């Protein structure tokens, strides 16, 4: 029997993992990537001995990686050298107070109660509830497919409306556990990873802070790009072929059947199925014939973007932990600006990463590698922002935020700087609106309501990755790859 073939558009983490699954099932897999190397958003670069992860810096939900590596016939520990980061974050507040989020319960008790008397009991109750949110949401919403409306809207799922609290707003719901705004902020900022403000995110998303606290934040020696390297090794061992500098310009069809793709250089490739890992709204807008869905997708809610600064520094800043988060008293106004305007907030909440605290090889001896991430709104059509002014404002905001840590001279010690704006995210990875997390995860863009893993009309065109089901993040990319690969294998008649 002729070997069936699948063309995968994009070598992001989800595309690579899908290539590994499908090649293992005996399919002929060719991955076409526009850039010169794999990884997509999970990217990196090395300059003058400084290694920068330009996308993810936090490995969360390690058990999901364990399961997904096992599903590929290998193990996480065989492929990656992971260590737990504890404290996960060093949180800095405007009034100079600090909170180190740690698995050490005694330390948590002391720190929380120094901020709000008797708040440790609230913390334990929060963990209990968020544990329920995590386990139920993973089982019922994330780790499964929704092929039909009835898979989602049914009597069995009805109790989730009460147990997962999807209709309660996360931040207001925090009032059930804490009075102190700093503590409400400390366990809700993670909603940003879903592209949402805690003031509109469902309380279900307490699952994010839960998993960071309960399962930990981890770091692979060599940085997060090692996950890409490990998955690439698995896919290549299984026989998948990767072609770089190979942008796809069109998905070809004959009636309702996808026949293959056309590359930017005019070459046509044929296959039994096409799997698009590139950002789903981009695929509808740029690679498929015009249709109503493309316009509808443009009107959906997108996550915000970020300005990222990558600094090679000629001295070490031991004052900086690996993951430092600066939260502001203007917490709500911060999100309003980031979600609704393309501007840097006054006194922005921001994140600083110093990977050499976790792996000294990430910077040359006696020097430091520093990344600062300042959230900013996604691109808005018709607006032409003054990037120079925005970058300058964000840069100054980072320096100002570092001062309470005793860091006053960073500017003078920067050897080189690279900065990514929303435009960079858009150009590098074809992310619509430069939205770093793609379509956001509000209630109307979750589960069955999120664009699915198979095209509704072209049944041999599939989608995998952040803007499709189950959603954004590296662990989710791996789950998305497994679920979609299973469906392709089934549809091509290769099941069991
Ligand atoms: C700044 C930032 C920080 C993050 N932090 C974390 C974190 O700490 N932890 C975590 O778990 N997640 C994090 N994430 C989210 C995570 O990186 C993404 O959800 C995940 O990497 C998305 O993978 P993907 O495969 O879905 O898509 P992508 O990585 O976008 O892959 C799609 C690929 O398709 C390629 N492509 C696009 N168009 C074409 C075309 N026409 N032809 C060929 N190829 C094409 C792109 O170049 C890209 O390689 C972060 C993301 C960002 C941006």
Residue 372 near ligand 1, beta carbon < 6 Å: no
Asked if residues 74 and 234 have their Cβ atoms less than 8 Å apart, the reply is yes
Residue 41 near ligand 1, beta carbon < 6 Å: yes
Banded model confidence at residue 257, pLDDT cuts 50, 70, 90: very high
Ligand 1 centroid–CA 153 distance in Å is 30
pLDDT, tens digit (0-9, with 9 covering 90-100), for 8-53: 999 999 999 999 999 999 999 999 999 999 999 999 999 999 999 9
Asked if residues 18 and 464 have their Cβ atoms less than 8 Å apart, the reply is yes
Q: Whose CA is nearest to atom 35 of ligand 1?
A: 10
Our mutation pick for probing the ligand 1 site, out of 12, 217, 462, counting the most ligand atoms within 8 A of Cβ, is 12
Ligand 1 centroid–CA 465 distance in Å is 8
| Lookup: tokens for 166 | 């999807």
Helix, strand, or coil (residue 147): coil
Query: What is the rounded average pLDDT for all residues in the chain?
Result: 96
263 membership: H or E segment, kind and range:
strand 257-263
Span 83-100, average pLDDT = 96
Residue 138: predicted pLDDT: 96
Nearest ligand 1 atom, CA 464: 26
Nearest ligand 1 atom, CA 60: 11
Residue 55 near ligand 1, beta carbon < 6 Å: yes
Residue 429 near ligand 1, beta carbon < 6 Å: yes
Ligand 1 centroid–CA 124 distance in Å is 34
Banded model confidence at residue 2, pLDDT cuts 50, 70, 90: confident
Residue 32 near ligand 1, beta carbon < 6 Å: yes
Helix, strand, or coil (residue 413): helix
Burial class (CB in 10 A: 0-12, 13-18, 19+), 96: exposed
Residue 496: predicted pLDDT: 57
| Lookup: tokens for 55 | 């996308």
Residue 230: predicted pLDDT: 98
Residue 395: predicted pLDDT: 97
Residue with tokens 């250089």: 265
Banded model confidence at residue 131, pLDDT cuts 50, 70, 90: very high
- Report whether pLDDT(347) > 80: yes
CA atoms within 13 A on the CB side of 404: 16
Ligand 1 centroid–CA 42 distance in Å is 6
111 membership: H or E segment, kind and range:
helix 105-115
Helix, strand, or coil (residue 496): coil
Count CB atoms within 10 A of the CB of residue 378.
25
Ligand 1 centroid–CA 449 distance in Å is 21
pLDDT, tens digit (0-9, with 9 covering 90-100), for 474-483: 999 999 999 9
Residue with tokens 């970020």: 306
Residue 381: predicted pLDDT: 87
- Report whether pLDDT(298) > 90: yes
Residue 465 near ligand 1, beta carbon < 6 Å: yes
Q: Whose CA is nearest to atom 7 of ligand 1?
A: 56
Window from 88-92, 405-409, 440-444 with minimum mean pLDDT: 440-444
pLDDT, tens digit (0-9, with 9 covering 90-100), for 112-123: 999 999 999 999
Burial class (CB in 10 A: 0-12, 13-18, 19+), 2: exposed
Residue 352 near ligand 1, beta carbon < 6 Å: no
Span 348-367, average pLDDT = 97
pLDDT, tens digit (0-9, with 9 covering 90-100), for 303-336: 999 999 999 999 999 999 999 999 999 999 999 8
Percentage of residues of the chain with pLDDT beyond 70: 99
pLDDT, tens digit (0-9, with 9 covering 90-100), for 374-409: 999 999 888 888 999 999 999 999 999 999 999 999
Window from 248-257, 304-313, 487-496 with minimum mean pLDDT: 487-496
Banded model confidence at residue 184, pLDDT cuts 50, 70, 90: very high
Q: Whose CA is nearest to atom 50 of ligand 1?
A: 56
Asked if residues 188 and 198 have their Cβ atoms less than 8 Å apart, the reply is yes
pTM, two decimal places:
0.97
Residue 387: predicted pLDDT: 92
């Amino acid at each position: 029997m002729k070997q069936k073939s699948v063309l995968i558009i994009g070598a992001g983490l989800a595309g690579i993992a899908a290539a590994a699954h499908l090649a293992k099932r005996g399919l002929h897999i060719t991955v076409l990537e526009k850039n010169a190397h794999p990884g997509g958003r999970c990217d990196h670069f090395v300059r003058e001995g400084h290694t920068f992860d330009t996308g993810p810096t936090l490995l969360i939900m390690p058990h999901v990686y364990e399961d997904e590596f096992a599903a590929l016939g290998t193990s996480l520990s065989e492929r990656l050298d992971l260590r737990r980061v504890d404290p996960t974050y060093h949180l800095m507040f405007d009034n100079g107070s600090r909170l180190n989020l740690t698995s050490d319960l005694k330390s948590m008790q002391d720190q929380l109660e120094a901020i709000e008397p008797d708040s440790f009991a609230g913390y334990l109750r929060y963990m209990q509830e968020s544990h329920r949110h995590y386990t139920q949401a993973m089982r019922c919403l994330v780790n499964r497919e929704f092929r039909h409306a009835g898979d989602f809207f049914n009597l069995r799922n009805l109790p989730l409306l009460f147990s997962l609290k999807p209709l309660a707003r996360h931040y207001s719901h925090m009032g059930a556990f804490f009075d102190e705004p700093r503590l409400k902020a400390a366990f809700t900022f993670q909603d940003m990873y879903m592209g949402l403000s805690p003031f509109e995110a469902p309380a279900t998303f307490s699952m994010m802070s839960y998993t960071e606290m309960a399962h930990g934040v981890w770091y692979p020696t060599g940085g997060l790009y090692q996950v890409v390297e490990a998955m690439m090794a698995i896919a290549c061992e299984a026989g998948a072929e990767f072609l770089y500098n190979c942008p796809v310009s069109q998905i070809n069809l004959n009636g309702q059947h996808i026949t293959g793709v056309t590359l930017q250089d005019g070459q046509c490739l044929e296959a039994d199925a096409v799997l698009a890992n590139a950002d789903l709204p981009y695929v509808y807008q740029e690679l498929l014939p015009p249709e109503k869905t493309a316009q509808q997708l443009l009107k959906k809610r997108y996550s915000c973007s970020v300005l990222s600064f990558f600094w090679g520094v000629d001295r070490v800043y031991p004052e900086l932990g690996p993951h430092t988060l600066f939260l502001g008293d203007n917490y709500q106004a911060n999100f309003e600006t980031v979600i609704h305007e393309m501007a840097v907030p006054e006194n922005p909440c921001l994140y600083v990463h110093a990977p050499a605290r976790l792996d000294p090889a990430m910077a040359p001896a006696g020097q430091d590698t520093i990344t600062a991430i300042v959230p900013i709104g996604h691109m808005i059509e018709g607006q032409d922002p003054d990037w120079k002014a925005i970058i300058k404002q964000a840069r100054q905001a980072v320096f100002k935020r570092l001062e309470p840590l005793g860091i006053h001279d960073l500017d003078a010690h920067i050897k080189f700087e690279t900065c990514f704006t929303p435009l960079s995210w858009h150009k590098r990875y074809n992310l619509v609106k430069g939205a770093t997390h793609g379509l956001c995860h509000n209630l109307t863009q979750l589960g069955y309501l999120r664009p699915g893993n198979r095209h509704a009309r072209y049944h041999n065109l599939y989608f995998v990755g952040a803007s499709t089901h189950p959603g954004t993040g590296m662990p989710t990319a791996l789950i998305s790859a497994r679920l979609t690969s299973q469906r392709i294998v089934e549809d091509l008649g290769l099941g069991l």
